[in-house]
């Protein structure tokens, strides 16, 4: 297996070198880029990882890469804050931190740190919103010895009370600081406006909820969620595939399946929340603006068209937003926009810009103008061709290393996507037509935009009323609570009424 991989690498390199030879036959330099003639790019594919499902339901994928004497493990577990309920709010994230810092059945916190740091190894646990990730890296020679330690952290964390207190303090420090930076206020409150303040994607942990979390909560959460059948574990680096699988089996094979349980729902709001929302933030030199609404799921038929649209509209140096709003108008350093997609819940269709306070209205107008222009001056055949070739020509970078291929295959498997998802993506992008782009453009619905401005007192609100329905600007505090409701009926609670949920 490894010999095959090495042979493959050597062969393809030889082809690449031959390609180089062809190029250099042009001795004279070109004067313009269109005089350049490119040889074809040699075909290059890396094998997909060997996949084994252990008897306890844990999936193991192994992808050797002998370039450097390092070994890596990534473990994804189907657990996350979005499945938290009122009863266990904040527990997932804290449990992840303390799994790492609270020691194991055999090692105290300090002993674990000394062992790992002494070998220059890294081990981190993070339970995020949508999934949990454990990552590990060590010198290849330490892999077999440290894998059981990794397994103990995952399977038998001690959740030392002192480590919980440290994690609680650090989390509290994060909570009291989350409104310090205007960029953080903008992204937090925009999520609340778009997904709903109480939704899985908008809600936030309070200090009171944090204080109420006990060690028993972490232990219970771990017993329920961290189970072998919920885990995909990937090994890459300088390892022998068969030996690595043996080591994983030895460390995890005797772990019994957990009890089955019904996954809690997670939900978000489908109803848009149009309006112009202003949050005053002192002592900043820019207004931070974001406008938009919910985006798509990856399985939407227009997904590939939105990818091409994103490229030509708001991503990259040659996109419309960058060229017009930044380069030609000089309104911003940071301006971008896209219709984003997620695997199992909607992404966000949004545009963002940071500009000096006095050009706030002009910047919002510029964003709206560019969205409108997608309809009045639809992307030309040339723009679409450029965007497609940017995506397709850079495709070689999407799986150019064994560890990239491994983490892709883990992700596809986690989301139940086919192993050839990348090939489908490529074919999907290639097939996009001007009519598809027109349908993608329709996924921007300006009438439904939540328009959020986080700016200093110098922002002249009178210049923004044109963007507010009925001229009524809604002022929010740094956590998104309404300060001066424009009209009593227009509260988030009312808008929250229509909600979606999936298990």
Partner 1 sequence: MPRPAHRSPAAPRTSAIALAALLVCAAIAPSADPLRADARGTADDVAATTTPAVAATATPAVPARIAALRDNFEARVTRHVLDNGWTFLLIEREGAPVFSFATFVDVGSAQEVPGITGLAHMFEHMAFKGTPNIGTTDYAAEAETLEAVEAAYLAWQAADMAPRPDAARVAALEAAFRARQAEAAAFVVPNEFGELVEREGGVGLNAATSADQTFYFYSLPANKIELFAYLESERFLRPVFREFYKERDVVQEERRMAVGSRPTGRLLEQLRSAAYVAHPYGQPVVGHMSDLRRFTATDAKRFYETHYVPGNMTTAIAGAIDPATLIPMLETYFGRMPAGPKPPPLRTIEPPQTAETIIRLEAPVQPTYTEFYHRPSGAHPDAVVLAAIDDVLSNGRTGRFYRTLTVAQKQVAFTSVFPSFPGDKYPSLFGIIAVPNPGVTLETVRDGIHAELARLRDEPVSDDELARFKSRATATVLRSMQSDLGIAFRLAQAEMRHGDWRQSFDRLAAVHAVTAEDIQRVARATFRAENRTVGKVVPRAAETPDDRASTNAPSQGDAR
Say if CB 401 and CB 327 are below 8 A apart.
no
Residues 12-51 close enough to bind partner 1 by CB under 8 A: 12-13, 15-17, 19-21, 23-24, 26-33, 36, 38-42, 44, 46
Binding-site member from 330, 418, 457, 471 for partner 1 (CB under 8 A): 330
Plot region of 103 (φ>0 → left; ψ -120 to 50 → alpha; else → beta): left
The angle formed by the CA atoms of residues 51, 55 and 57, to the nearest 5 degrees, is 70
Does residue 421 sit in helix, strand or coil? Answer: helix
Residues 408-427 close enough to bind partner 1 by CB under 8 A: 408, 410-412, 417, 421-422, 425
Interaction of residue 276 with partner 1, rule CB under 8 A: no
- For partner 1, the closer CB: 254 or 377: 377
Interaction of residue 486 with partner 1, rule CB under 8 A: no
Nearest CA-CA partner of 496 in 202, 129, 88 = 202
Interaction of residue 114 with partner 1, rule CB under 8 A: yes
- For partner 1, the closer CB: 401 or 463: 401
Binding-site member from 87, 105, 259, 397 for partner 1 (CB under 8 A): 397
Return d(Cα 112, Cα 123) in angstroms, integer.
10
Nearest CA-CA partner of 308 in 444, 440, 446 = 440
Q: Which helix (H) or strand (E) holds 358?
A: none
Return d(Cα 26, Cα 420) in angstroms, integer.
38
- For partner 1, the closer CB: 181 or 499: 181
- For partner 1, the closer CB: 128 or 148: 128
Interaction of residue 432 with partner 1, rule CB under 8 A: no
Residue 412 in tokens = 């596809």
Residues 213-272 close enough to bind partner 1 by CB under 8 A: none
Q: Where are the alpha helices (DSSP H) in 196-291?
A: 207-212, 215-225, 241-252
Does residue 376 sit in helix, strand or coil? Answer: helix
User: Of 47-55, 118-126, 218-226, 465-473, which part binds partner 1 (CB under 8 A)?
Assistant: 118-126
Residues 55-94 close enough to bind partner 1 by CB under 8 A: 67-70, 74, 76, 89
Interaction of residue 180 with partner 1, rule CB under 8 A: yes
Residue 280 in tokens = 């005053």
Quick count: other Cβ atoms within 10 Å of Cβ 74? 19
Interaction of residue 172 with partner 1, rule CB under 8 A: yes
- For partner 1, the closer CB: 155 or 413: 413
Binding-site member from 307, 350, 449, 464 for partner 1 (CB under 8 A): 307
Interaction of residue 182 with partner 1, rule CB under 8 A: yes
Interaction of residue 381 with partner 1, rule CB under 8 A: no
């Amino acid at each position: 297996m490894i010999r095959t991989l090495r042979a493959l690498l050597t062969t393809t390199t030889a082809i690449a070198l031959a390609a180089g030879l062809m190029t250099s036959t042009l001795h004279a330099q070109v004067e313009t880029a269109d005089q350049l003639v490119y040889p074809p790019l040699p075909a290059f594919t890396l094998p997909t990882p060997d996949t084994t499902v252990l008897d306890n339901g844990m999936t193991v994928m192994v992808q050797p890469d002998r370039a450097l004497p390092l070994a890596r493990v990534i473990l994804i577990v189907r657990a996350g804050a979005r499945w938290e309920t009122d009863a266990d709010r904040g527990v997932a994230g804290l449990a992840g931190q303390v799994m790492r810092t609270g020691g194991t059945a055999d090692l105290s916190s300090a002993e674990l740190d000394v062992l790992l740091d002494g070998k220059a190894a890294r081990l981190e646990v993070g339970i995020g919103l949508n999934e949990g990730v454990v990552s590990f890296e060590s010198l290849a020679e330490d892999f077999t010895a440290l894998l059981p330690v990794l397994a103990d952290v995952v399977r038998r964390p001690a959740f030392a009370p002192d480590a919980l207190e440290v994690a609680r303090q650090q989390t509290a420090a994060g909570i009291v600081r989350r409104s310090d930076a205007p960029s953080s206020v903008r992204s937090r409150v925009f999520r609340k406006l778009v997904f709903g303040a109480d939704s899985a994607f908008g809600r936030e942990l309070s200090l009171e909820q944090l204080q109420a979390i006990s060690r028993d909560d972490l232990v219970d959460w771990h017993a329920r969620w961290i189970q072998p059948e919920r885990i995909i574990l990937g090994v890459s680096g300088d390892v022998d595939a068969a030996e690595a699988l043996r080591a994983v089996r030895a460390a995890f094979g005797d772990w019994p399946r957990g009890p089955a349980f019904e996954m809690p729902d997670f939900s978000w709001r489908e109803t848009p929340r149009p309006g112009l929302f202003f949050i005053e933030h002192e002592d900043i030199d820019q207004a931070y603006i974001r406008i938009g609404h919910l985006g798509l799921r990856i399985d939407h038929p227009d997904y590939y068209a939105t990818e091409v649209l994103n490229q030509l509209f708001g991503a990259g140096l040659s996109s419309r937003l960058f060229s017009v709003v930044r380069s030609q108008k000089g309104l911003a350093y940071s301006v971008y926009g896209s219709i984003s997609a997620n695997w199992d819940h909607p992404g966000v269709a949004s545009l963002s810009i940071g500009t000096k306070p006095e050009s706030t209205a002009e910047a919002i107008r510029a964003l709206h103008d560019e969205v409108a222009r997608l309809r009045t001056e639809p992307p030309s055949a040339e723009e679409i061709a450029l965007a497609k070739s940017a995506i397709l020509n850079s495709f070689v970078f999407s799986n150019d290393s064994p560890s990239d291929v491994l983490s892709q295959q883990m992700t596809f498997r986690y989301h139940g996507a086919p192993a050839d998802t990348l090939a489908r993506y490529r074919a999907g992008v290639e097939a996009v037509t001007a009519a598809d782009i027109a349908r993608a453009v329709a996924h921007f619905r300006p009438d439904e935009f939540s328009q959020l401005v986080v700016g200093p007192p110098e922002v002249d609100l009178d210049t923004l009323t044109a963007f507010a329905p009925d001229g009524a600007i809604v002022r929010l505090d740094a956590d998104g609570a309404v300060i001066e409701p424009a009209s009593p009926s227009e509260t988030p609670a009312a808008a929250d009424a229509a909600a979606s949920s999936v298990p």
